[in-house]
A and B are shown apart, each in its own frame.
Chain A
C-alpha cells in the first residue's frame, strides 16, 4: 500500500524554464512533507520541507506547495538548471519524522 505516489517517472524541461514535480498522498495524518534529490551513486539529500499547517514554503529557486484538500503537493524549480538533473523523491511523515514514507521518484532532466 503506497501512501505516497509520484505518478510521473520522468520529466524533461529546458534550462531556464520551470520544473514542476508532483506528488499525491493518501494518509491525511501526515504532518510533514519533504522533497529529496538523488544523484547516481549517492544517497538522497534533503531539499525542502513543508508542515501540514502551511500551504507554501520557499527556499531560493525551490518552492513546495501543499494542497491538503486534494492530498497533493508539488515542487517548483525556477529557473531550472542542468545541475538540477537528478531523481526527486517526495516523502511524508508523522510529527516525529520517524516513519517517513517515500514515493517512487521522478527523474528530472534539464536540457541545456
Chain B
C-alpha cells in the first residue's frame, strides 16, 4: 500500500531534550515536506526537500532541522524543543507532477512541557 509513515504518533517530551520524528514513503517520490498544524493557522510548512541532499526552508523553520540522505526518508529533528513547538506535525510526499498534491502521513502529536 502506497503510504507515508511517520513515527511516533504521540510524543510527550521535556524542554531541551533532543528528539527526532521519522518519516518514510514507499512511492519513490522526489518531493517531501514537513508541516505543522495549529488551531486557526492551518498547515504551515517547516522544511521541504526536492530530492536527496536538497532541502530548503519553508515558512516556519526556526528550531527545526531536517536531512534527506535517502530518497524514502525525511526525518524532522528538534535539537532543543520548546513549549511553542507543541503541535500536530505532518510529513508529506509527492511525485514530480504539478497536478497532484501531497500524500500526507497520519500525523505526530508532540507535546513539549
Residues of A that sit less than 8 Å from B by CB:
2, 4, 6, 31-32, 34, 36, 41-46, 49, 51, 89, 91, 95-105
Main secondary structure of the interface of A (DSSP, over half): loop
Task: Give 21 CB contacts A-B under 8 Å.
Answer: A6-B42, A32-B99, A34-B101, A36-B104, A43-B104, A43-B107, A46-B102, A49-B101, A91-B101, A95-B98, A96-B31, A96-B98, A98-B31, A98-B48, A98-B50, A99-B45, A100-B101, A101-B45, A102-B43, A102-B44, A103-B42
Q: Are B94 and A41 in contact (CB under 8 A)?
A: no
Q: Is B90 an interface residue (CB 8 A)?
A: yes
> Ordered nearest first, which 7 A-B pairs have the shortest CB separation?
A43-B104, A46-B101, A102-B43, A104-B42, A102-B42, A34-B101, A44-B104
How many B residues touch A, CB cutoff 8 Å?
28
State the CA gap A97–B101 with chains docked (Å): 8
Chain B binding site: helix, strand, loop or mixed by DSSP?
strand
Chain A residues with Cβ below 8 Å from B44 are 102
When A and B form their complex, what is the total count of cross-chain residue pairs whose Cβ atoms lie within 8 Å? 70
Complex-state Cα separation, A32 to B102, whole angstroms: 13
Given A96-B98, A98-B33, verify A43-B105 contact (CB < 8 Å).
yes
With A41-B106, A104-B41 given, is the CB distance from A97 to B4 under 8 Å? no
* Assembly CA distance A104 to B56 (angstroms): 23
User: B35 contacts the other chain (Cβ, under 8 Å)?
Assistant: yes
Residues of B at the A interface (CB closer than 8 Å) are 4, 31, 33, 35, 40-45, 48, 50, 56, 58-59, 90, 92, 94, 98-107
Most chain B CB within 10 A, of A41, A43, A100, A105, is at: A43
| CB–CB A31/B98 < 8 A | yes
Query: B99 near A51 (CB under 8 angstroms)?
Result: yes
Q: Which residues of A contact B58 (CB under 8 A)?
A: 99
CA distance A105 to B39 in the complex (A): 9
**Is the Cβ of B100 less than 8 Å from the Cβ of A89?**
no
If A46-B100, A104-B42 are given as contacts, then 14 extra A-B residue pairs at C-beta distance below 8 Å, sorted by A number, are A4-B42, A43-B4, A43-B92, A43-B105, A43-B107, A44-B102, A51-B99, A96-B50, A97-B31, A97-B102, A98-B50, A99-B48, A102-B35, A102-B44
